[in-house]
Structure 1
Amino acid sequence: MRKPYNYDTRRSIWTDWWTRFQLEAHVEDKRTEWGRACWKSLDRSSTDLQTIPSVCFGSKVWTGHEEQLLPSCKRKCLTDWSNRALQHDGLKAYVSPTWVSRGTKYLTDTKGLFGQILFWSNTQNSAKKVLEHLRSKAAIVDTLLSDSVSRKFSTFHRDMTEECGAEAKQHSWAVLEKPEEIIMYGPYYPNYNNGEHSEDIIIKQTQELLCSRDVPEDWKVYVFTMNSPCLVRNTDPCINTDPCMLSLIHKAWEWWRVHGVKTHIGYVRCWGFKGNKENLFKEINFRQVECITQGVDYESYSKLADKITDLNPLCETVFSIAKDVLRSDKKHFPMMSSDQKQDRRSYFKSMSCSFEGKQGDEKKHLTTELNTMIEAAEALLSEKPESIEEHLEKGEAFSMAHTFSSQVCEALRDEMRVRFQQCWREMVQDRYAEFVRDELTEKFNRSTVQLFLQDVQTFTRQYLQIGKLQL
């Protein structure tokens, strides 16, 4: 039996981010008196990821499994530094219970956030969680932004559309909101040739804006992206590039910690791990659909699938999810989707076999006749959703009603009609299987984003909101 998941379990550079969390999370943010005192004691301009010291509310810095994250020499250095830092610049002064409480919550949320980030960075485990959620038939509920934030996005979106025009493909723009002015920048588009996503440009531009001026505490960042930021990034493994969703969360945490800026991220479509490039359901072809439909349960489905040559049985979880989709109301689907105008001519290549052996002008004339028939059949490839039976009937009716020229003999006409119906049937069946895969992928992507945001936003409510926009 085949494996249910086919994800790369390679960890990203988020382990380095965890190191930074551990090193910095003990330093309370600079909006409190304690945090300002601690912050003042650090020479931020001379530190980097490897040398940032750690301060906590007490002398003990590392406990439990956390000690395994850093080499022993670095742990000793950090512990020694924290003991010295508490003696520095009057930091040995009394710390109020309120400051201790804030620092404890900050550290707890930070550790909790990174625990979720580590889990979702392992796509083997996180994809399994999403599939089990779908198998349980639990409701898929989109995470929405608050009404006030949604109204802000609607206003910004209207202004951006009036300025740059409407756009359905992936793009991103952002707004830096200050009490006295609003800075809008974008839209930016991905450049997949060099591996750059639109969110990469947003992060870079926002970072430059925040670092180029003295930022008061009441600034806000609004990031719009047509698709929800990716959770898996297909790049060269030698390039240190994180998925956009994780990068944005990291930056939102950093902008809050350094500048006191709150971040809001709004999206229109759920992209999940890798959007329409998702391959979990790639083996569901029409023969699989027939077996799933005929199988009463997984055991009977497996017996049917084993009898078909070159058909790999699905895992039980994917079977259950697909069975649930196919068990719902009768499926109506379009032969041509609005966002994917595919050329279906390749399905009719075998029709040319009808006049093999023909020579010269006769073959040229029959080729022209075939092209005319195929071009006329393109009118059947509409975006109107219909059942598979209705699509097949339309193809049969077209072939019988099509008028051939007088130079095509009756026998050849009949053969071309039969071959057309065979090609049309194959195309309809493939389109139906594609429709089922698209529906499964859409449910999977929505569920992925829903579960991810549920896990993460428990720890980021103070400085970050992420949600779907209803524009």
Structure 2
Amino acid sequence: MSGRKRSRVDGNEKEPYLESLKPLRQRCETGSTPERAGQKKSCMHDTCRIAGTKQLPNSWSFFEQMSCWADTQHSVNQVSEHLRSGRHNDDICLDESVTKKFWQFHRDITEESGAHVKQHAWGVIESREEVVMYGPYHPDYHKGEHSEDIIIAQTQDLLQSQSASQGRAVYVFTVNSPCLARNARACMLNLVHKAHEWWRKYGVKTRVGYLKCWGFKGTKEHLFKGVNHSQVDFVDQNQDHGSYVTAAEKTEMTPLSEVVFAAVKNSPRSAAFAWGSIAQGQDWKSHFKNMRSVFESVPEEEKNICTQETDAVVEAARVLLSDKRESFEGYLERGRAFALGYAFSSRLSAALQAQIRLRFRQCWEEMAKDRCAELIREKLTEDFNQRTVQLFIKDIAMFTKEYLEIGRIPIPEDAPQVDLLHTFDAD
């Protein structure tokens, strides 16, 4: 729309806090919803009155569905059942026209406020007359405040203060999808509730776009913390969970749950990994601490020489930690070849050189296994979070399609000014 006005709300000004919302089940257990035994009281809360109107089809089913998602343990079980079933994991993206809108607004906001790396959110209210952009806002976890809380409060204030205008739409962008679990009311549930309120009061449709699925806990999801390289190999050797548990009982290995077993079994694993991030960690050399045990029994006067030689070989191995994609077996072979060809000082005896080469290969293999397992856990967690968000969207889509769209925003090849593939941490 050419000639549109643009107004900008200062992202640093004090924002009103979102008033806490009572659980949906509590709010809607009386009133104009279908009568239950013993329910005679009427409820005048907005959402309960909405449930009795014709504006929201199957309203009681909708509020029951929302109440289920407000019960985190129930919704975790729902996602776990989906994992156990092995059903396909379909991505839910916003359509192309909406996606283009988001990237257009993203470019405008980035030009004005600069690129923002960590979790943030911004909003836009668009009408035929003008476009009002606000944000970006960052979370304040010390106050228990998420970036979506600020967006919701700011949107509410702006809609109340603006004169009525036909064809208005609200766009809410957040790097990570709105949370589905927190001590306070989850952001995703808040947004669904407010989207219906804005539609009913102001005739506004809301679109929520995100770059990465956060699920319940994001990268802090601990469901897969027990998965290591040996567990993955053991899962691959067994066809079903029953045979896996039987086989595990004959070993010292702690068996994975049926849900985690199914997730590992059904997860496609890349034949090659990029291993360079090992070198980015401060403690990558800790994988080689055991190398010093080689010379524990040597005379004291030789220990200093052995320490220097061992430290030198580990430091020299840093060049192997490139970003080149390589298979696990290929990475092991790279370490073996390095150990075999490394030239030690003549101050070390041939016997000590052989022992250090052997111990280096063992430490290298353990490091490769740990990194491989870490990458697998990351992929499993990403898949779990994606399923969580997608199941939620599918559960509510039939009730909210008139006034709310939620979906991932595909990242275009010319993603503007920020490395969006590596900036999704919440803190």
Name the TM-score class by shorter chain.
Answer: 0.7 to 0.9
Please tell me whether residue 261 in structure 1 is matched to residue 184 in structure 2: no
In the superposition, relative to structure 1, how do residues 205 and 379 fare at CA in structure 2: closer, same or farther (>3 Å)? farther
Deviations 1:393-438 (A, max 9, x none): 1111111222223333332222221111111111111222222222
Alpha-carbon contact 2:279-2:318 (below 8 Å) kept? no
Please tell me whether residue 312 in structure 1 is matched to residue 254 in structure 2: yes
Q: Pick one of 46, 64, 68 that aligns with 2:35.
A: 64
Whole-Å separation in 1 of the counterparts to 2:220 and 2:237: 28
Whole-Å separation in 2 of the counterparts to 1:378 and 1:358: 27
1:380 aligns with 320
In the superposition, relative to structure 1, how do residues 158 and 315 fare at CA in structure 2: closer, same or farther (>3 Å)? same
Deviations 1:262-295 (A, max 9, x none): 2110011122222211112221112211221111
Alpha-carbon contact 1:175-1:222 (below 8 Å) kept? yes
Whole-Å separation in 2 of the counterparts to 1:185 and 1:224: 11
Whole-Å separation in 1 of the counterparts to 2:188 and 2:358: 52
Aligned length: 388
CA RMSD of aligned residues (A): 3.1
Alpha-carbon contact 1:334-1:386 (below 8 Å) kept? yes
Please tell me whether residue 470 in structure 1 is matched to residue 410 in structure 2: yes
User: How do 1:119-158 and structure 2 match up within 5 A?
Assistant: 119-158=68-107
Whole-Å separation in 2 of the counterparts to 1:421 and 1:470: 42
Structure 1: stretches of 5+ with no match in the other structure? 1-12, 24-53, 55-60, 83-100, 236-240
Q: Pick one of 215, 223, 231 that aligns with 1:288.
A: 231
Deviations 1:138-158 (A, max 9, x none): 332222223332221121112
* 1:207, distance to aligned residue in structure 2 (A): 2.5
3-state DSSP of counterpart to 1:458: helix
Please tell me whether residue 275 in structure 1 is matched to residue 224 in structure 2: no
Alpha-carbon contact 2:210-2:409 (below 8 Å) kept? yes
2:370 aligns with 430
AA of the residue aligned to 1:16: P
Whole-Å separation in 2 of the counterparts to 1:250 and 1:339: 45
Higher normalized contact order (CA 8 Å, seq sep 6+, divided by chain length): 2
Following TM superposition, the consecutive aligned residue runs of length 4 or more in structure 1 with deviations greater than 6 angstroms are 358-361
* 1:168, distance to aligned residue in structure 2 (A): 4.9
Deviations 1:432-454 (A, max 9, x none): 22222222222222221111101
Whole-Å separation in 2 of the counterparts to 1:463 and 1:217: 14
Alpha-carbon contact 1:14-1:118 (below 8 Å) kept? no
Whole-Å separation in 1 of the counterparts to 2:206 and 2:304: 65
3-state DSSP of counterpart to 2:36: helix
Whole-Å separation in 1 of the counterparts to 2:240 and 2:175: 39
Q: Which range moved further: 418-427 or 330-339? A: 330-339
Please tell me whether residue 189 in structure 1 is matched to residue 196 in structure 2: no
- Per the normalisation by structure 1, the TM-score is 0.74
- Per the normalisation by structure 2, the TM-score is 0.81
Q: Percent identity?
A: 47
Deviations 1:38-67 (A, max 9, x none): xxxxxxxxxxxxxxxx7xxxxxx4643385
In the superposition, relative to structure 1, how do residues 197 and 405 fare at CA in structure 2: closer, same or farther (>3 Å)? farther
* 1:392, distance to aligned residue in structure 2 (A): 0.8
User: How do 1:8-157 and structure 2 match up within 5 A?
Assistant: 16-20=23-27, 61=32, 63-65=34-36, 75=41, 78=42, 104-157=53-106
In the superposition, relative to structure 1, how do residues 193 and 336 fare at CA in structure 2: closer, same or farther (>3 Å)? farther
Structure 2: stretches of 5+ with no match in the other structure? 1-19, 412-427
Please tell me whether residue 230 in structure 1 is matched to residue 201 in structure 2: no
Whole-Å separation in 2 of the counterparts to 1:156 and 1:171: 14
1:322 aligns with 264
In the superposition, relative to structure 1, how do residues 294 and 332 fare at CA in structure 2: closer, same or farther (>3 Å)? same
* 1:390, distance to aligned residue in structure 2 (A): 0.9
Alpha-carbon contact 1:227-1:271 (below 8 Å) kept? yes
In the superposition, relative to structure 1, how do residues 409 and 338 fare at CA in structure 2: closer, same or farther (>3 Å)? closer
3-state DSSP of counterpart to 1:313: coil
Deviations 1:309-352 (A, max 9, x none): 2x332233332332222xx5763222244997463221111112
Alpha-carbon contact 2:180-2:189 (below 8 Å) kept? yes
In the superposition, relative to structure 1, how do residues 341 and 250 fare at CA in structure 2: closer, same or farther (>3 Å)? farther
